[in-house]
Structure 1
Amino acid sequence: MIWASALLLAPWPGQVIAQSSATSEAARTSVAAEIRSSVGGKLRDFYGPRGYWPLWIEKGKIGPQGDALIALMESADADGLKPGDYDLRALKRLKGDADANGDPKLLARADLAFSKAFAALVSDMRKPSRKLKVRYLDPEVEPKDEEPREILRAAAVVPSFVDYVKGIGWMNPFYVKLRKARTGFAERWSGLPQVALPADVRLRPGMKSGAAPLRRRLGLESGAAYDKVLAAKVKAFQGDHGLKPDGVAGTATIEALNRGDGYYDRLIALNLERARLLPGPYTRHVVVDAASARLWYFSKGAQDGTMKVVVGAKESQTPMMAGMVRYATLNPYWNVPSDLVERKLAPKMLNGASLTKLHYEALSDWSANAQRLDPANIDWRAVADGRTELRVRQLPGGDNAMGKVKFMFPNDLGIYLHDTPSRDLLAKPARQFSNGCVRLEDAQRLGHWFFGRPLKAESDKPEQHEPLPQPVPVYLTYLTAIASGDGVQFLPDVYGRDVM
């Protein structure tokens, strides 16, 4: 019965786990004591309030988040950064010594070194490397250099620190996905022969000759036929470059091929810079992309929803700007832009239309105390000729251009998010039609997200203002290169902002 005696004397698995956990906690306590005695500078502001408890140590070693950080730093060139700036060799050596020795002093040094390196990388990754024309309407949304304590505190409270580092959780998902896609894109399309193709040809599958330059450009074996292999390669190129993957090398495809590798890498880099200015998903915020005419909203580390929007036309572009959505206006007026009053409304009045029946009213000025004007006393010819500027607003109702609600982030350009009765434009693939404002596919859904409840006017009274429980940042950006599947989708540069 020796085996029975051994079984009785052996600890139960639960006891082993408890003993292991107690040992691990004791080791971390020793490391905390060493951190307390050696930490200084800005790192003390992070470690002090948490009792100098280590961030990177697990079971007497640097945890897997340390390996994830090293791997991320090794690929920092994808962020426009230099891996050599982070002294990776010393960090790896310190990790190896600390893990092998288990000495609390070495582990404390390693914990502090990893925290310092992590804070530096996050700060650099968030910092724009080029000047972009973005208007910041509120101090809360202006880019700023975060202190190490803020960067480390955010990392210390996420559900999984390892996943946070691996997934670059402090960056906006648009940035993270495009960064990853950039690597795969380069592997597929960089380094191919930069053969100039005739711009006036149209090549299609089945052709027996004429495809030799195209085959060379795409790195295929020599020949002149447009066979299935070439067609598949062309389709793959088209799919990765935002073109219709029909396998036909027409004008747009030839133009894209002739731009060369460098053009697309620079375009991806430019859009990474635009995405770099967006907050991470743990910040509750809204993103509007004028290039794809879509809106997304995020909180608690995840995307909560998305919807189509209509944005500014080429002649009345939605600007790149950021502000704080502070209140909603129910039953809004629509203040008609002066050029539309001149070009659209005044000619109707000269042809005998009724301002009242059209559900508009004219006002004496742009102040809050403006007086209503009698349409019969207005010189509509002077308005139509541009000699008189007239304030006109559309009354609330089913045909109001603002719909039932608009969400306000105060700015002098009159840009805001709003409902719309014009649903037909939302069905179009390209949705750049507005005068600069953002028309929402589902204003009620976004309102529910803003307020945590259905948003409904208490009466028919115009301009009912409802403050948000907490102001929410909104970022209006312009992303002409986005991750799509395993590739990169390049969107039309409608606004002409991709000059490089």
Structure 2
Amino acid sequence: MKHLATLFTGAALTVALPLAAQAQVQPLIAGSFADAGGLAAQNAVAAFYKSYSVPPIWFRGGVASPALADVQRVLYRAPFDGFAAGPQYAAQIQAAIRQAASGNKADITAAERAVSTAWVAYVQSLKQLTPGMIYAYPVLAPQGTRADQILLTAAAAPSLQAYVNSTSNLNPVYAQLRDAAWLQGQSAGNMTPDPRLLANLERVRSLPSAGKFIFVDAGSQMLYMYENGRVVDSMKVVVGDKKNFGLPTPMIASIMHYMTFNPYWNVPHHLVRQKVAPGYLKEGAKYLKARGYEIVADWSEDAAVISPDTVDWKAVAAGAKQIRVRQLPGPTNSMGKMKFPFPNGQDIFLHDTPQRDYFNLARRDRSNGCVRLEAAPRLARWLLGQDAVAPSKDPEIRTKLPAGIPVYLSYLTAKPTSTGIAYLDDIYGWDVPGAQVAAVSAPVPTATR
């Protein structure tokens, strides 16, 4: 299977398609942009050119930009971005470019708007929200999705070719997945992407293209530290157990502003009912003392401590009464020596753990929703820029990070390989359409770990 090649014919610029792609788009070349689902984009583009006094973007000085070859290449590949109409748009652009080669002003104007319509429709599709992802800050959601934002950015780009390619690649994780699948499809002569691939691409759309950020992949149970588009460190993690606890780690985009030394562990209500209450009924107060547990009036750091003698433990064990139990800092504390909170509305955070055996497992979905870290001090050093040492033995010591660090929790079952894409076990069942949206709608217990 031949790869795409660019061909120049006078002022026109076209792209040669692989045979499989030609078979898919040839019957559609004569169709309108509305046929490809772009009526909204077409109207928005018309309004843009009416409202803004900008020179042509794609045909500056009446000459077709070399970037048009990149636009067509991106659109031919677009089904592997989840934009099925891409090849139709690319074929129509090709026809419009050939028509514009006549030098007729009206033809050039029509071609300019045809390219802009196709590009706006593609970018808007590419920058959709990830279904089921919690965006703790609006700025972390995909930005620049209005037609005028897209076209003004293109018009101001120092290099139109660089802009087209960087926009289509979104971020390194997304581009590696998409490109591996695209090359695999070309080699096999199969231009229909696997639905599992598209589900995975949706789940990494919101990752940044550059900068410093944390990426937790619940699918492979790994954490990656990124700087300027490349992984600088990684570690194993333990993530939520959907099968036994019904508590998968949710997809979250947030910003971490501080870390906590010597954290309390607020015991989840279901564990208080299932383990703590029966333990107290069997062993009495020594059960609590041996584990560093205390009963508190609320979850505040200065909460009043309640005597266990005043608690109706049989009612707690039966689920008829709820109490708040927290574990003091210490060698058995389930949070370990440090935790890394970030806003998300579901009490999910990253944390250290004294339980090390799970990190020896190939599959590590064993937590109540939060993310346990294989090497918490190493993450803390990367965040702080120095070794992380607790200032004292006091509980809940918050240490501000030098700068807020974006943190993304997502879920990948697709991995790029040297020959294409390999698929992992779908432990959460989120590759099924709609499943990940339903998951985030379900109630999640507070104080998970």
TM-score normalised to the size of structure 1? 0.63
Counterpart-to-counterpart distance in 1, 2:299 and 2:155: 51
Counterpart-to-counterpart distance in 1, 2:263 and 2:419: 43
Percent identity between the aligned chains?
A: 38
Which residue among 270, 281, 286 is the counterpart of 1:350? Answer: 281
1:402 CA displacement: 1.2
Counterpart-to-counterpart distance in 1, 2:393 and 2:99: 69
Q: Which residue of 2 aligns with 1:311?
A: 239
Q: Greater CA deviation, 279-288 or 340-349?
A: 279-288
Counterpart-to-counterpart distance in 2, 1:378 and 1:169: 59
Distance 1:157 1:445, change over 3 A: farther
1:328 matched to 2:259? The reply is yes
1:117 CA displacement: 6.1
Q: Which residue of 1 aligns with 2:197?
A: 268
Counterpart-to-counterpart distance in 1, 2:329 and 2:341: 17
2:251 maps to a residue whose letter is M
Q: Which residue of 1 aligns with 2:94?
A: 89
Deviation digits for residues 293-320 of structure 1, max 9, x if unmatched?
A: 1122334333333322110012221112
2:280 maps to a residue whose letter is M
1:348 maps to a residue whose letter is G
Gap runs ≥5 in structure 2: 1-45, 434-449
2:70 maps to a residue whose letter is A
Q: How does 1:126-205 map to 2 (within 5 A)?
A: 126-127=127-128, 132-147=131-146, 165-166=164-165, 170-187=169-186
Q: How does 1:464-483 map to 2 (within 5 A)?
A: 464-483=397-416
Q: Greater CA deviation, 309-318 or 418-427?
A: 418-427
Gap runs ≥5 in structure 1: 1-39, 99-105, 192-260
Counterpart-to-counterpart distance in 2, 1:372 and 1:364: 6
Counterpart-to-counterpart distance in 1, 2:400 and 2:276: 33
Secondary structure at the counterpart of residue 351 of structure 1: helix
Q: CA RMSD, aligned part only? A: 4.1
Which residue among 209, 214, 228 is the counterpart of 1:281? Answer: 209
Secondary structure at the counterpart of residue 493 of structure 1: coil
1:75 maps to a residue whose letter is R
Greater relative CO, 1 or 2 (CA 8 Å, sep 6+): 2
Secondary structure at the counterpart of residue 334 of structure 2: coil
Counterpart-to-counterpart distance in 1, 2:57 and 2:141: 29
Alignment check: 8 A CA contact 2:93 2:114 kept:
no
Counterpart-to-counterpart distance in 2, 1:491 and 1:109: 46
Which residue among 290, 294, 311 is the counterpart of 1:361? Answer: 294
1:480 CA displacement: 1.8
1:417 maps to a residue whose letter is L
TM-score normalised to the size of structure 2? 0.70
1:160 CA displacement: 8.3
Q: Which residue of 1 aligns with 2:79?
A: 77
Deviation digits for residues 155-200 of structure 1, max 9, x if unmatched?
A: 8999987566446565132321222222344356677xxxxxxxxx
1:296 matched to 2:224? The reply is yes
1:141 maps to a residue whose letter is L
Counterpart-to-counterpart distance in 2, 1:439 and 1:376: 33
Counterpart-to-counterpart distance in 2, 1:382 and 1:330: 34
Counterpart-to-counterpart distance in 2, 1:324 and 1:308: 21
Deviation digits for residues 78-130 of structure 1, max 9, x if unmatched?
A: 223223336522664489689xxxxxxx99999999788656543332225xx
Distance 1:464 1:115, change over 3 A: farther
Distance 1:114 1:459, change over 3 A: farther
Alignment check: 8 A CA contact 1:169 1:281 kept:
no
Alignment check: 8 A CA contact 2:74 2:168 kept:
no
Counterpart-to-counterpart distance in 2, 1:136 and 1:465: 24
Q: Which residue of 2 aligns with 1:246?
A: none
Counterpart-to-counterpart distance in 2, 1:268 and 1:419: 32
Alignment check: 8 A CA contact 2:93 2:111 kept:
no
1:429 CA displacement: 0.9
